[in-house]
Amino acid sequence: MKRMITPSADSISYFQRHKNVVSSKANTVKGEPNLIKQNLQSLESAIEARYSAFESSLSSGNLFNLAQDPILAEHKDDLLSCYTGRTAKVKEIFSSIEDVQPANFLRRCPYCGITLPKTYDHYLPESLYPELSVHALNLIPCCNSCNQTKNNFWKNDNHRLFLHFYMDIIPDIQYLNVRLVSDINLCAVGAIFSISRAPNIPNNVWDVLSMHYIKLNLIKIYNELANNEISEVFNVCISHLRGGGIDVGRFINILLSSDEQLYGINHWRVVLMKALSRSDDFERAVRASV
């Protein structure tokens, strides 16, 4: 799990992108003035103030305290039409997010590290903060499953519930662990993941980080996926030895190195493969099958 590159506002500000989305709407609908566009234009200064409040709460690490705006909430449908319209200007916002990420990073959902992120999560739910529906810093590429599970939740009484991938510090310290489970023949057949707080991870960082795993059921999902992943590595290792390879552990470490670089030491597959690379039982089982 790794932090993402923050989409840039250097050449076009985040608010200008919102204005571009509004301007690109048609002036008339079925021969009548487009009232949604007119309304959005009349709300421009209120929305600009919200953009600025959101950006300063992000940069000061105080997003938790950003209250909803009751007046803008009354214009929810019009505000959300900026996002749901999926115009070319909205797609430009998506590109501003995707184009700055390292190559291949978005092959996996940042929230879970498992599947392709085919949707965008509104970190601050669009039903509560509709005025931020096309703010790039409120849009995180995300898989369907995480998006649905996260739903309209984002904080409890004390802290946020999910990592914000442009803002939060994700410690480069091992906190995701795995224990391999062997069967009677000492062949690794499963894995049990867990998270544990390293002493140098501050409380406030751990509160959000650990809740992210809990709320998205990540440990349960990783445990369910582990068997397939182990069989895959098992088969690749057999082919490696059959092809003249010698060192199973070293071979697995080579396999995992690009993912480790891309997704960090706490990515579930990296953690699992490292455990396999060190497991005598796993190596014995591979050698017995060659």
**Which residues of this protein are in contact with Zn ion, per CB under 5 A?**
109, 111-112, 143, 146
Closer CB to Zn ion, residue 14 or residue 165?
165
Minimal distance, residue 281 CB to Zn ion, in Å: 31
Minimal distance, residue 213 CB to Zn ion, in Å: 12
Minimal distance, residue 163 CB to Zn ion, in Å: 12
Closer CB to Zn ion, residue 146 or residue 286?
146
Minimal distance, residue 149 CB to Zn ion, in Å: 8
Closer CB to Zn ion, residue 90 or residue 112?
112
Closest CA to 139 of 119, 160, 156, 159: 119
Closer CB to Zn ion, residue 143 or residue 271?
143
Q: Which long-range contacts (CB under 8 A, 24 or more apart) does 182-185 make?
A: 182/281, 185/285
* Contact yes or no for 141/100 (Cβ under 8 A): no
19 contact partners, CB below 8 Å, separation of at least 6: 44
DSSP state at residue 275: H
State the DSSP string of 127-196.
TT-GGGTT-GGGEEEE-HHHHHHHTT--B-SSSBSS--TTTS---SS--EEEEEEE-TT--EEEEEEEE-
Minimal distance, residue 282 CB to Zn ion, in Å: 27
Closer CB to Zn ion, residue 16 or residue 151?
151
